[in-house]
């Protein structure tokens, strides 16, 4: 699949993010969606640009966006134009653009773009995993396998959840999100880079398929896997992840989780 024009379109979004970033003297406007989450004019503007490009260049494909359309076909694009809206509104760097493509239930292409650093990650079935930074492409390489079960812990609330969940499982070690650095890529990229080897999210119904399709596609290039919270295949035929999700460096690690093996 030719992706050079798509990559150029995504990279061209950077000025919109940089010029609109809040500072100490300004605060971007936002409105509340029916589910209570925030949406900014930038969300809608970036979504319109991406959706217009994809509709024009891939007219037979469906599009599932966080902000506008939900239309599934044999091949379907999943768009999150501003992943990390709250961080953006607070003037933090922890936001990115996610564009994923799935054939049925199988993610086949992922693009993750961090506008602040102008760094883009791409990979898929027909796309070698690579990073584009400063106009230079370098291969995205999987780190050597890390021993043990290193579990990604994004916050104090999750630490409490995991300590309860694994109270009888001493082999699980928490890796706190603040120890991974400030750049907001996607947790699946950190997993590929060996910073942890397991991510668990049990927030049922709180995440969209647009949140994970891109990272899932790139992770799959390295033999990594994603499932729902109970180890089943993720259903990309629905907008929301009804049963949370798990990401790991291999399927066996998921199968060894206590609530799955039992």
Name 44's Cβ contacts closer than 8 Å, sequence gap at least 6: 67, 68, 81
* CATH 3.40.190.80 domain range(s) in the chain: 149-261
CATH: 3.40.640.10, 3.40.190.80, 3.40.50.720, 3.40.1390.30. Which one for 149-261? 3.40.190.80
- What CATH code is assigned to 4-139? 3.30.540.10
**pLDDT given at position 187:** 92
CA 15 – CA 96 distance, rounded (Å) = 13
Q: Is the pLDDT of residue 250 over 90?
A: yes
Q: Give the model confidence (pLDDT) of 31-77 as tens digits.
A: 777 666 778 889 999 999 999 999 999 999 999 998 777 889 999 99
HSE-up of 188 (CA within 13 Å, CB side)? 29
Q: Give the model confidence (pLDDT) of 127-151 as tens digits.
A: 999 999 988 999 999 988 778 899 9
Q: Give the model confidence (pLDDT) of 201-218 as tens digits.
A: 999 988 999 999 999 999
Q: Is the pLDDT of residue 221 over 90?
A: yes
CA 166 – CA 73 distance, rounded (Å) = 40
CA 131 – CA 42 distance, rounded (Å) = 25
**pLDDT given at position 107:** 98
Q: Is the pLDDT of residue 183 over 60?
A: yes
* CATH 3.30.540.10 domain range(s) in the chain: 4-139
């Amino acid at each position: 699949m030719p992706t050079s024009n798509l990559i150029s379109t995504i990279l061209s979004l950077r000025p919109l993010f940089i010029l609109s970033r809040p500072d100490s003297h300004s605060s971007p406007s936002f409105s509340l969606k029916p589910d209570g989450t925030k949406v900014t004019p930038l969300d809608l503007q970036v979504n319109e640009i991406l959706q217009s490009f994809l509709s024009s260049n891939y007219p037979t494909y469906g599009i599932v966006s966080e902000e506008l359309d939900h239309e599934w076909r044999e091949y379907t694009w999943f768009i999150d134009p501003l992943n990390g809206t709250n961080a953006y509104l607070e003037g933090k760097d922890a936001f990115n653009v996610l564009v994923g493509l799935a054939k049925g239930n199988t993610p086949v292409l992922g693009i993750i773009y961090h506008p602040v650093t102008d760094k883009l990650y791409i990979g898929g079935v027909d796309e070698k995993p690579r990073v584009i930074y400063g106009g230079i492409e370098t291969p995205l390489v999987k780190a050597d396998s890390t021993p043990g079960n290193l579990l990604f812990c994004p916050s104090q609330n999750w630490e409490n959840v995991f300590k309860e969940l694994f109270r009888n499982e001493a082999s699980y070690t928490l890796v706190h999100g603040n120890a991974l650095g400030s750049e907001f890529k996607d947790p699946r990229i950190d997993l590929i880079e060996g910073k942890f080897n397991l991510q668990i999210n049990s927030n049922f119904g709180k995440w969209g398929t647009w949140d994970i399709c891109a990272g899932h596609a790139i992770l799959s290039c390295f033999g990594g896997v994603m499932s729902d919270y109970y180890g089943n295949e993720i259903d990309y035929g629905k907008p929301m992840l009804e049963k949370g999700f798990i990401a790991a460096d291999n399927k066996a690690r998921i199968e060894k989780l206590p609530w799955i093996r039992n």
